[in-house]
Each structure stands twice: as structure tokens, then as C-alpha cells.
A and B are shown apart, each in its own frame.
Chain A
Amino acid sequence: MSDKIPVTVLTGYLGAGKTTLLNRILSEDHGQKFAVIVNEFGEVGIDNELVVGADEEVFEMNNGCICCTVRGDLIRIIEGLMKRRGKFDAIIVETTGLADPAPVAQTFFVDQDVQDRSRLDAVVTVADAKWLADRLKDAPEAKNQIAFADVIILNKMDLVSEAELREVEGRIRAINPYAKLHKTTKCQVPLNAVLGQGAFDLDRILEIEPSFLEVGDDHDHDHHDHHGHDHGHHHDHSAPGLKHYHDEEMQSVSVRVDGDMDPTKFMPWINELVQKEGPNILRSKGILAFKDDPKRFVFQGVHMILDGDSQRDWKPGEKRESKVVFIGRNLKPDELRKGVLSCVA
């Protein structure tokens, strides 16, 4: 069997520039061939042999997991595309402006046939620099898309002042400090910033640090830390300070523990947590040092679905520490922190 085909999911609220980004990806001279799954025909300006229309049919799985929804049409389309595997190198899924990215992502965890043949590379969200702040107030879909993203293309930066840009960036970071953020005009972004991210690849969860290196002050949510103090390197950057916002509804919480965790405590805790709080937890990730285990344990989750594995050895001299991050709605930072700390070895 050949390698799994990478799948990039493009989200973004209506009018943010998803189609612009898609057309850029397709028109660039990169020598790669894409199969494109779109929700509306006619918008893709490039003559591409493999453009498939999708219906965005979201199905519940009968597996007792209330938020375990999948995209039925995606399962069918990927099955069909795989018959012509040699015709393309990667798949791009464009979702509608109002779509929740979770069912798309969950499809890649839940359906074995899809999982056997393809892998989710990253969720890329295009955001409109001028209107995003408003949409975050009135459109829950827009907030979901930002919270879920691995890569955020903050587009139409030419339409806003520098102060407005900082403002919207602050709003984004209040929700999702971990996504890679690129500020663009007309989605002018190098393709290697969008494709080949491996964001769902356990082997590539090397570190989970907030990505906003431009930040001037250290309003990192790491203030929930147990005893870790690692914000040193954020100070080295001279970019103007990002305003700190707090989003009432959607937040991220990170908890760090110096030293080892007890897997017999942590595993049941995290499983129970996502069973109970799964609908509110959009994404979760962690790198853990388990007691008596020379290897790093990494996990990631989408709502109630968790995927974890032992990764590489802790390197000699590398500090054995554990870090867990959550992005979600109405998270309870203190409870999460207490929960993680209760699993210390």
C-alpha cells in the first residue's frame, strides 16, 4: 500500500477568502496534483480535473458518543477518489463558511477506511482582518473555526490599520494561541505554510508552545502553570505588544508539570474528562513524561476522540516535563489544572 494521502481542510467564514487561497494553491507552480472537494461548484477558477462537489452531510455515529459526528459525504468521496490514487498527491477539502470543522476532522479518526488511506494534515482557517472581530461576536461558527485551526491566514490586512490588525490578532490569540498565524493580503502566503503541516501527526507534536512570538508581554495562558516558568524567550522579540483579550466563551488552557506523571492516573482522568466535557473541548494535545517510561507519550484529541502513542525517547539532558493544552468553550481552568496535577507521579 502506498503512503497515506494528506488532506488539508480549508475553513473560514463567508467572504474571508477561502476560494482565493484555494485558487492560489491550485495555480502555483508546485508540481503537485490536488483532488479538491468543494461545497460549491463554479467558484474554483482553475481547470482542475479532480474537483468533486460535496453535500456536507453530517452524520451521527451510533457509538454512544454524542458529539461524534462525521461527514458521510466525505467518507464516500474519499472512497471514490482512492480508486484513482495515482492521479493526485493530496486532497483539499473546502468547507462552507458556516461549517463546523469538527465533523470533518472526526471523519479521519472514526472511519477506518478513510484512516487507512488518508491522513488529516491540518485545519487551515482563513479569517477576514476587517470583519473577524465582529464575526467573533455574532457568529459562533467563525469562533469555532478559529479555535479549531492549526494554521490561520489572517487575510485582507491591507484593509485595516496596524492598530486594527493588532486588535484582531489579539482577539484570535485569546481563543487560539497555538495556531500558526500568517498575515496576508489576497492570501499571499507561501504554500509550505499551508500544506505539509502534519498538524495531526503524533510524531510531529514536538512542542506545544503558544505560537505568538511577536508578543511583547507574557500574557500567555501559561499562568496556569504548576511550577514551570518558561516564558523567557517570548521577551526577546521586539514586535509591538499584543493587546491581551479574554474571550468570554472560548479559551485555551495549558497546564505544565515538571517531572513525571502517573499513566494509571492520567489515562482514566483524560478519558473521563473528554467523555464528560468532550462537547466543549474542541482540541486537546499533550506531551507527557510517564513514570519509568523512557519515551515521550503524545496525544491529541478532537472533542471526545483521543489518539495517543509513545513517541521518541526523552533525550539525555532533556527536561522531563509534561504539558497538556485544551482549546474549548467555557473551560474551567482551575478544574483542569487540578485534574492534571492529581495525576502527578
Chain B
Amino acid sequence: MFERTCDAMAKPNQSLTDRVKPIAAGDGVVAVGFVGATPVLALANGEILFAGETEKRVTAHPGAGVLIARFTGGGVVTGGDDGRVVETRANGECVEIANEKGKWIDALCVRGDGAVAWSSGKLVRARDAKGDVKEMTAPSSVRGLCFTPKGYRLAVAHYNGVSLWFPNTAAEPDQLVWRGSHLDVTLSADARFAVTSMQENSLHGWRVADKKDMRMTGYPAKSRSLSWSHDGKWLATSGAEACIVWPFDGKDGPMGRGPRECCARPARVSSVAFHPASLVIAIGYDDGWVMLSRLSDAAEILIRATEGEGAPISSVAWSGDGKRLVFGAEDAVAGILDLPA
């Protein structure tokens, strides 16, 4: 267990605010991402907004809302409060993947080959690329899902730990145990570490091989946005008045080491996203600010500032080539930045 320390506040040394093109989202933004090269926003009113050259809106969840969204590259998969899991593809076509009638879709994850997993309450279902659906019942309501990088395996976060489940085997899921309510779950690219965000304003980690526990504490709020660096050596996290970045490079990960703190401001970080090819982090704050931070030299670039109190940034995301950044806020404010070449 180790405590965060606090750095002095830094001023951004560059600004790209005038290069941001606003997107009129029309409703609260739940998640942003890219489908191909097009910035796409999943909205609280059930719509998917393709914010390309010509704007296109698709209602993926008619009369309902998007609770959670995951981007596949070729489309976006959303889980709604109508109990439906829907994939919206680049051409605007909506395909219903599942309908858990009368329930909410609480957690969702996707992977490159087209596999999708979702949960409502304790029930978890996983659909592989061929369309075979398997299910398991977790010991308590599931809050987070994540596919393991290799093999068809799923990490399922719930009360008192994480279950590691092979959907295609009858074996009981392996358990990573730690008392308390686990929310989001993520695995390092080499699958050596599993990390969850917890109800008690902390992260919990396990070294998967020997199930050794690690606690990452010192957050003033829950840390609900977690993003790995492209090289898998760093984990950027939200929930503090700076982006907290934990080192996962050595064999012990962050055990016994402190985190980096990037872009400290008098507002809480609400969303983080590592650049797909460099050690640059896009950071959204709960007052509507967006900044970029470069890990190597702590350089900071301001992307969006708000006068007074803006609504929290709910999501930030990079395009696959790392040249564009999209962000969206709970109050329907959104924008796209084309980085200077």
C-alpha cells in the first residue's frame, strides 16, 4: 500500500484551444470514440452521433438511454436502459446483439475479433466472434467486464473480487479475491496484472500469476476511467486532482513505487485516454477542461477551458492513428481536435 503525494500545480505551457472544432451533441455524452476515421458520440438519449464531414444520427435505443458504450473500430456497441445490446456500424446500421428484457445493461466489453460480453445484474453473457453465446452467474451484481488479451477469457468484477471465466469451458471461474465492491476492471496487455476500481476511492490490483494483492490509494473520489499506455508500461487513472499514472513496467508493477501525477488542477480528473502510439495522455476534468500531458517531460497542452463551472467531461478518445482527439461532456458539449502535423 502506498499513498499518493501531491505535486505543485503547473500551468499549461501551450494551448490548442483554438484548433478545437465544437460538436453539437444535442444530449449528454456517455462515451466518445472513432469508427474508422469518424468521431462518434454515444448519447444519453439513445442516439449515436457520427460527427464526420456530414453529421449522421442513428437511434440505437429508441425511447431509452445509452448506459455504456464500447468501440470496436468498425462500429460502436452500446448497452441501454432498455436492456438491449446494440451494435451500430459505420454505415449507420443497428444490429441487436441481445435483449435482456426489463433489465439494464450494467457492464460491457468488446474485442477486436468481434466478441462481445455484457452483464445485467449477476448474469454475464459472452458472445464469441461466431455468435455462440455462453453465460455465467456471478456471486453478486457485476460492475465491470474485460476480455483477457489472449485466449477467450473474461475478467468479471463484482463484490469481493474478480472472476476469471473461460466461457467455452465448464470449469469454475478462477477467483481474484479482495473484500469490497469492485467496479471497473482492466487487464494489462501482457495479462500479468488485473486492476479494479473500488467503491472506497482506491484501485485494487493483483499480479495474476500468484494473485499477489496491491492497493493503489490516495484518491479523493472513485477512479472510474483507466487507460493503459501503448507499451503497456503505464496505467493512467481518473479520480484525483491530477491524472494519476501508475508504473507497471517491472515484474512487481507499482508495488512499493509511487505514481506520476500529470496536469494537476483544482478540479477532479473524470476521464483519461493514453495516446495509441506515444506516452501522451488526454485528460478530461469534472469542470469541463481537457488537457494533454506528455509523460516524458511533463509538458502540458490546454485543449479546452471553461469559464466558471462546466459539466464533467464524460469521455476522451484518440483516433487509431493518434492524429485526432474527441471529447464529450455530460452537458452535451463536445469537440474534436486535429493535432498539428
Residues of B within 8 A of A57 (CB): 140-141, 159
Taking A52-B104, A84-B65, A112-B221 as contacts, is the C-beta distance between A72 and B200 under 8 angstroms?
A: no
Residues of A within 8 A of B221 (CB): 112-113
On whether the beta carbons of A73 and B141 are closer than 8 Å, the reply is yes
**When the two chains form the complex, which single residue of B30, B181, B201, B330 contacts A72, counting CB atoms closer than 8 Å?**
B181
Bound-complex Cα distance A62 to B309 (A):
32
CB-nearest residue of chain B to A59? B181
Bound-complex Cα distance A182 to B309 (A):
43
Residues of A within 8 A of B102 (CB): 41, 53
- Minimal beta-carbon separation of B129 from chain A (angstroms): 29
On whether the beta carbons of B141 and A83 are closer than 8 Å, the reply is no
Taking A53-B102, A53-B103 as contacts, is the C-beta distance between A1 and B311 under 8 angstroms?
A: yes
Report the contact-size class of chain A (Cβ under 8 Å from the partner).
20 to 34
Residues of A within 8 A of B201 (CB): 112
Q: What 1/0 flags go to A74-92 for Cβ under 8 Å of B?
A: 0111001001110000000
On whether the beta carbons of B44 and A62 are closer than 8 Å, the reply is no
- Minimal beta-carbon separation of B264 from chain A (angstroms): 20
On whether the beta carbons of A62 and B179 are closer than 8 Å, the reply is yes
Task: Flag whether A217 is at the interface (Cβ < 8 A).
Answer: no
Q: What 1/0 flags go to B31-45 for Cβ under 8 Å of A?
A: 000000000000011
On whether the beta carbons of A75 and B199 are closer than 8 Å, the reply is yes
Taking A83-B65, A83-B67, A84-B65 as contacts, is the C-beta distance between A63 and B181 under 8 angstroms?
A: no
On whether the beta carbons of A59 and B67 are closer than 8 Å, the reply is no
Q: What 1/0 flags go to B181-224 for Cβ under 8 Å of A?
A: 10000000000000000011100000000000000000001100
Residues of A within 8 A of B140 (CB): 57, 72
On whether the beta carbons of B200 and A76 are closer than 8 Å, the reply is no
Q: What 1/0 flags go to B141-161 for Cβ under 8 Å of A?
A: 101000000000000000100
Bound-complex Cα distance A62 to B143 (A):
18
Bound-complex Cα distance A19 to B38 (A):
48
Bound-complex Cα distance A53 to B120 (A):
11
On whether the beta carbons of B222 and A61 are closer than 8 Å, the reply is no
Q: Which residue, A41, A60, A80, A85, has most C-beta atoms of chain B within 10 A?
A: A80
Residues of A within 8 A of B62 (CB): none
On whether the beta carbons of A76 and B106 are closer than 8 Å, the reply is yes
On whether the beta carbons of A84 and B199 are closer than 8 Å, the reply is no
Residues of B within 8 A of A75 (CB): 199
- Minimal beta-carbon separation of B52 from chain A (angstroms): 24
Residues of B within 8 A of A72 (CB): 140-141, 159, 181, 199
On whether the beta carbons of A83 and B28 are closer than 8 Å, the reply is yes
- What does DSSP make chain B's interface, helix, strand, loop or mixed? loop
**When the two chains form the complex, which single residue of A49, A59, A70 contacts B63, counting CB atoms closer than 8 Å?**
A49
Report the contact-size class of chain B (Cβ under 8 Å from the partner).
20 to 34
Task: Flag whether B261 is at the interface (Cβ < 8 A).
Answer: no
On whether the beta carbons of A1 and B309 are closer than 8 Å, the reply is yes
On whether the beta carbons of A59 and B199 are closer than 8 Å, the reply is yes
Q: What 1/0 flags go to B316-331 for Cβ under 8 Å of A?
A: 0000000000000010
Bound-complex Cα distance A16 to B231 (A):
60
**When the two chains form the complex, which single residue of B67, B141, B179 contacts A80, counting CB atoms closer than 8 Å?**
B67
Beta-carbon contacts under 8 Å, A1-58 to B: 1, 41, 49, 52-53, 55, 57
Residues of B within 8 A of A112 (CB): 201, 221-222
Residues of A within 8 A of B67 (CB): 80, 83
Taking A57-B141, A62-B179, A113-B222 as contacts, is the C-beta distance between A80 and B81 under 8 angstroms?
A: yes
Residues of B within 8 A of A77 (CB): 104
Taking A1-B311, A55-B121, A83-B67 as contacts, is the C-beta distance between A62 and B200 under 8 angstroms?
A: yes
Residues of A within 8 A of B81 (CB): 52, 80, 84
**When the two chains form the complex, which single residue of A52, A70, A73, A83 contacts B44, counting CB atoms closer than 8 Å?**
A83
Residues of B within 8 A of A73 (CB): 141
Task: Flag whether B26 is at the interface (Cβ < 8 A).
Answer: no
Q: What 1/0 flags go to B227-242 for Cβ under 8 Å of A?
A: 0000000000000000
Bound-complex Cα distance A63 to B201 (A):
11
Residues of A within 8 A of B103 (CB): 53
Task: Flag whether B266 is at the interface (Cβ < 8 A).
Answer: no
Taking A1-B309, A41-B102 as contacts, is the C-beta distance between A63 and B200 under 8 angstroms?
A: yes
CB-nearest residue of chain B to A80? B67
Task: Flag whether B131 is at the interface (Cβ < 8 A).
Answer: no
Residues of A within 8 A of B30 (CB): 83
On whether the beta carbons of A80 and B104 are closer than 8 Å, the reply is yes
Residues of B within 8 A of A80 (CB): 65, 67, 81, 104, 106
On whether the beta carbons of B141 and A76 are closer than 8 Å, the reply is yes
Bound-complex Cα distance A55 to B28 (A):
27
Task: Flag whether B22 is at the interface (Cβ < 8 A).
Answer: no
Bound-complex Cα distance A49 to B122 (A):
23
Bound-complex Cα distance A83 to B103 (A):
16
Task: Flag whether B180 is at the interface (Cβ < 8 A).
Answer: yes
Beta-carbon contacts under 8 Å, B65-122 to A: 65-67, 81, 102-104, 106, 121-122
Bound-complex Cα distance A76 to B81 (A):
12
Residues of A within 8 A of B200 (CB): 61-63
Bound-complex Cα distance A53 to B200 (A):
25
Which residues of chain B have a CB within 8 Å of any CB of chain A?
28, 30, 44-45, 63, 65-67, 81, 102-104, 106, 121-122, 140-141, 143, 159, 179-181, 199-201, 221-222, 309, 311, 330
A-B contact pairs, 27 of them (CB 8 A): A1-B309, A1-B311, A41-B102, A53-B103, A57-B159, A59-B181, A59-B199, A60-B179, A61-B180, A62-B199, A62-B200, A63-B200, A70-B199, A72-B159, A72-B181, A76-B106, A77-B104, A83-B28, A83-B65, A83-B330, A84-B44, A84-B45, A84-B65, A112-B201, A112-B222, A113-B221, A113-B222
Q: Given A41-B102, A53-B102, A112-B221, output 15 extra A-B contacts at Cβ < 8 Å.
A: A1-B311, A52-B81, A53-B103, A55-B121, A57-B140, A59-B180, A61-B200, A62-B179, A72-B141, A73-B141, A75-B199, A80-B65, A83-B67, A85-B28, A112-B222
